[in-house]
Structure 1
Amino acid sequence: MKIIVPMAGRGSRLRPHTLTVPKPLIPVAGKPIVHRLVSDIAKVLGEPIEEVAFILGDHAFFGDDVVESLMELAAELGAKGSIYRQDKPLGTGHAIMSAKDSLSGPAVIAYADTLIRADFDLDKSADSVIWVKQVEQPEAYGVVKLNGTNEIVELVEKPQEYVSDLAVIGIYYFKDVGVLKNELQHVLDNDITHGGEYQINDGIKRMMKKGMKFVPGKVDEWMDCGNKNVTVETNQRMLGFLENEGENMIADSVKQENANIIEPCFIGENVVLKNTTVGPFVSVGANTVLENSTVKNSLIQSNSKISNANLDNAMIGNHVVYNGNFETISIGDYSVLE
């Protein structure tokens, strides 16, 4: 089994945090989004992963440190790591075809801006599985249309009239991803675009027209990391899941002086808490200092210093110095507010 991870986008909706760090590497509950996604997919697949192929943007933004992190992730799964580049943002189909040398055999394609909790058996009798989640406003999503035997017969983007309430979450299984490659090659060769972009759906629709069997797979939880507010919410939900699963999220090296931790929280290595209450639902990265503060429902990354703060629904980057009384804030890396 292979895992193909398109992650070339810059994550503009999550700025300023993605001005210096690609969105898939933003930590949620103490671990980068893409690390959580790939590890969770490997866990639910329950079989050896042969290769993890990552599709990145230009080298200036996705540099050597990003490549090193991703290769370590692949190695942790006992898999070969491969790096490809999508130099121009020409759509989901174009991104996948940037990794065409790895598009063979059984594979999962997963876009690295979402997190899931799931427990499922992979239907290997199908040519493809498209994972979906029931949503309240299907007109805001791409959805699947099912026939009477629970097979997917159509993909509809943001339907104005009701088709179904099963939204496509951006994770796909292909029994032979080489078939998708052939269909996407046709899309590229014939310049089939939407808004100037080549889309994975056009390759999938060509497979459907040839009678290939597509079935839905359902996840228990689908969590977005599209902007600051939903990322903070995803952090809350993930901390709750990890607590229920018995994961220890507070490092032994945390130093406390007149401090109180209200779990669930992730507190990283060598964090210092002084005259501070943290939690619930807070993640704090390594080497950060919090003093004279109260923090809840927030994400604070590494190597920052937070003083005299009363924070709720906040997101603070790496190497930040903050001293103030704002409550709901979003501060990117290397900012100083005193």
Structure 2
Amino acid sequence: MKALVLAGGAGTRLRPITHTSAKQLVPVANKPVLFYGLEAIVEAGIDEIGIVVGDTQAEIEAAVGDGSAFGARVTYLRQEAPLGLAHAVLIARDYLGEDDFIMYLGDNFIVGGVNAVVDRFVSDRPDAQIMLTQVGDPRQFGVAELDADGRVVGLEEKPSEPKSDLALVGVYLFSPAVHQAVAELKPSWRGELEITDAIQWLLENGRRVESTVVSGYWKDTGNVTDMLEVNRLVLESVEPRVDGRVDEASELIGRVVVEAGALVERSRIVGPAIVGPGARVLDSYVGPFTSIAAECRISDSEIEYSIVLPRSSISGVSRIESSLIGHDVEVTPAPATPRAHRLVLGDHSKVQISS
């Protein structure tokens, strides 16, 4: 079996962060979301991985390399434009050959990995295995309709009147039969080749489609709220570790990771939280569910439930929360502070905040 990982797409819901960064490389707990997916695929016993890339190809390649760091062999497949998930299967046809494969959206996060669903697919041998989860607003997703016995009877992409609240999770398993389905597709009203239409074609042509309802945790990390929630979830499982330097005037409470080369002075950090390599936390409070990346500087400030990307600095700010701060950002005081600040800042931003 092979894997097809989708790492193209413009990441419009995460702008301005994704104006300069691939959305799949935005970190949670200081590790790119894409890496969690690659690790899950390899853990499931799949080491041949094709990564579909677009305009951020150079950045993705620089981060992932040849895959050896993950115990895999990676092939990069260029998609000239984001023309749909089924289009990604179409351009990967030669790479996939006649192998079964798992398709994994590179900005998705699934607790517990994909071992169980891969094992079930290999054992039961359907033509497609999909994962479903209940959502509050299914109009934003591909939606599956099940019959009274739990069998998949229909799928629709972003329906205006959903027939169920079961949305497709961004992990699919296919036999080579899907290639015939994809070859028959026409672009949808969105101008894309929809993977939901390909699965619907399989159903209509007598192919077997099985489903699994996700009992654990799944997030499409396409917006700031979901990124912060996944960051919270991952930090919940960190083990406390201090490889950097923490002075006697500082206090670490709970599960706190201080990476090698980091410095914490005269500060209070309440976990779960992580301070990346080379970062500096001085005279500050870092609250729970906060990830501070490499080479950041937090001084005379308070921050919690936030993600700060590499080389950014926050100085003299009384309170930041629920924020995603990009690379090389400077946050400094300005007059008349509100009680809290909610920020989504692109790379190289400079912001003045009252203090």
Question: TM-score normalised to the size of structure 2?
Answer: 0.84
Deviations 1:216-273 (A, max 9, x none): 12331012322223322222222224469x9984314321110111111122111111
**Unaligned residue ranges in structure 2 (runs of 5+):** 241-253
Counterpart amino acid of 1:333?
D
In the aligned structure 2, how far is the partner of 1:139 from the partner of 1:78?
Answer: 38
Tell me, what secondary structure is at the counterpart of 1:3?
strand
| Counterpart residue number, 2:82 | 89
Candidates 60, 69, 73, aligned match of 1:76:
69
Kindly state the Cα deviation for residue 290 of structure 1 after the two structures are TM-superposed. Answer: 0.5
Q: Match of 1:234, SS?
A: helix
Using the TM superposition, give the Cα deviation of residue 192 of structure 1 relative to its aligned residue in structure 2, in angstroms: 4.4
- 1:159: Cα distance to partner? 4.5
Whole-Å separation in 2 of the counterparts to 1:151 and 1:4 = 26
Q: Shift in Å at residue 84 of structure 1?
A: 1.0
Per the alignment, residue 227 of structure 2 pairs with 231
Return the match for 1:294 from 288, 297, 302. 302
Structure 1 stretch displaced more, 89-98 or 327-336: 89-98
Equivalent pair of 2:27/2:33 in contact (CA under 8 Å) = yes
Q: Distance in 2 between matches of 1:88 and 1:300?
A: 30
Matching residue's letter, 1:229: T
* 1:10-34 per-position Cα deviation (integer Å, ceiling 9, x unaligned): 1011111001101011111111111
The runs of at least 4 aligned residues of structure 1 exceeding 6 Å deviation read none
Q: Which runs of 5+ in 1 are unaligned?
A: none
Q: Which structure ranks higher in relative contact order (CA pairs < 8 Å, sequence separation ≥ 6)?
A: 1
Contact 1:40–1:117 (8 Å) recurs in 2: no
The CA distance in 1 between the partners of 2:137 and 2:310, in whole Å, is 36
Equivalent pairs, count: 325
Measured in 1, the distance between the counterparts of 2:293 and 2:139 equals 37
Deviation of 1:136 (Å): 3.1
Counterpart code for 1:75: S
8 A Cα contact 2:323 2:343, kept in partner: yes
In structure 1, the residue matched to 2:4 is 4
CA distance in 1, matches of 2:104, 2:110: 11
Contact 1:151/1:213 (<8 A) preserved: no
Say whether the 8 Å CA contact 1:113–1:225 is kept in structure 2.
Answer: yes
RMSD over aligned Cα atoms: 2.3
Do 2:143 and 2:163's aligned partners in 1 also have CA atoms closer than 8 Å? Answer: yes
TM-score, normalization: structure 1?
0.88
CA deviations 1:131-180 (Å, max 9, x no partner) are 11122333443221223443212113345556332211121012x2x221
Q: Does the C-alpha gap of structure 1 residues 94 and 247 become closer, same or farther in structure 2, counting only changes over 3 Å?
A: farther
Contact 1:224/1:234, CA 8 A, preserved across alignment: no
* From 266, 285, 307, the counterpart of 2:315: 307
3-state SS of paired residue (1:66): helix
Please give the alpha-carbon distance, in whole angstroms, between the structure 1 residues aligned to 2:62 and 2:140.
36
**SS at structure 1 position matched to 2:65:** helix
Q: Which amino acid aligns with 1:111?
A: L
Q: Which residue of 2 aligns with 1:115?
A: 109
Aligned to 1:18: 18
Cα pair distance change 1:323/1:206, threshold 3 Å: same
Give the whole-Å Cα distance in 2 for the aligned partners of 1:248 and 1:216. 39
What is the distance in 1 between the residues matched to 2:168 and 2:49? 22
Change (3 A) 1:12 1:137: closer
Equivalent residues in 2 for 1:35-50 (5 A)?
35-43=35-43, 45=44, 47=45, 49-50=46-47
Quote the sequence identity (%): 29
